[in-house]
Amino acid sequence: MTQAQPATRHMDAERPMLLRFAAASIAAAIVSIGMKLGAYVITGSVALLSDGLESLVNLAAAVVALAALWIAALPADEEHAYGHSKAEYLSSGFEGALILLAAVVIVWQAGDRLRHPRPLASPGLGLAAAAIATLVNLVVAVVLLRAGRRFDSITLEADAHHLVADVITTIGVMIGLAITALTSIHWVDPIVAFLVAANIVRIGFDLLRRSALGLLDTALPAEMRSEITRILQEERAHGVDFHAIRTRQAGARRFVSFHILVPGDWSVQRGHDLLEGIEDRIRRSIPRCTVFTHLEPLEDPASFEDTRLERSPRE
């Protein structure tokens, strides 16, 4: 079996940059907490209090994301031969859980204020503080989302979605504050908080779903699998065949394995050269990909008995 190593040096060079993005998320969370809790003290808005509490969750999530990216950057070792990339799924799952926790807090606070309404003080100052916090979070969220997609980091994407949820929350809170200030209808503030909580729940469940799929070794996307199959099918014109294609993704790393069947009278060198060429084509088509191949003779019946994940030992 041959193994094509991924471009580890390139990925290692990217990781310090990812850590800086995570640090920016922490800074944004600290600014948001100060602005929103300050606005709550000024206005007494329960929606702003809930928004500030959600930012505390953002801070905790950003710290966890930074730790996960640091762990994922560790090189492969004897006990973790495939690297530590799956640490990112643990982080994004934790963030999804924290988002759901924030939604619960918002619902609880909004329900209490709905039962015990009271007028808001200085709503204009509260709106200004919330607007500044929203702008900071929006800018950082856009930067993190682009970086997450560029570097295939589910941790940065999760952090970006968390900040987007915070932005949506704050916009909803600002709308509630404005309506309450203009109409003196005090129940608008908690009702808006309920609606925002519902959207946050959706984002949280999506993050949990993606994290679970990653931990379960979900296959690569359909378009990538189709590209792998296309490359292998082109080799059939040269009298070879293939089977047992398996793919999975761990954070930013992708893994592909398959068996190549060639005529039994081929030399080892000829078979090796064929595998090297196929592996190179796949790595060029699918970035950050590690390819495992296994060479087998077409004429041997045993070559067709190992297509399943588990194979019984020979008698």
Whole-angstrom distance, CA of residue 164 vs CA of residue 134: 9
Q: Are strands 289-297 and 253-262 parallel, antiparallel or unpaired?
A: parallel
Residue count of the chain, please give it. 315
Query: What topology does CATH give the domain 222-304?
Result: Alpha-Beta Plaits (3.30.70)
Average pLDDT, the chain: 79
Distances (CA, A) of 11 to 8, 14, 122, 152: 5, 5, 50, 11
**8-state DSSP, 265:** T
How many CA atoms lie within 13 Å of 311's alpha carbon, on the beta-carbon side? 11
Question: Is 2-215 a domain of CATH 3.40.50.970?
Answer: no
* Contact residues for 185 (Cβ-Cβ < 8 A; gap 6+): 179
Give per-10-residue mean pLDDT for the chain (315 aa): 45 62 80 84 78 73 71 72 68 75 79 77 83 88 85 75 80 82 79 76 77 75 92 88 87 85 92 93 89 89 71 57
In the chain, count H helices and then E strands: 8, 4
pLDDT confidence of residue 314:
57
Q: Is there a contact between 135 and 71 (Cβ–Cβ < 8 Å)?
A: no
- The residues of the chain that CATH labels 3.30.70.1350 are 222-304
pLDDT confidence of residue 15:
57
Question: What are the pLDDT digits (tens) for 232-258?
Answer: 999 888 889 999 899 988 766 788 999
Whole-angstrom distance, CA of residue 12 vs CA of residue 32: 31
For residue 303, which of 270, 271, 269, 255 has the smallest C-alpha distance?
A: 271
pLDDT confidence of residue 5:
46
- The residues of the chain that CATH labels 1.20.1510.10 are 2-215
pLDDT confidence of residue 23:
79
Q: Which helix (H) or strand (E) holds 279?
A: helix 268-285
pLDDT confidence of residue 162:
73
pLDDT confidence of residue 178:
85
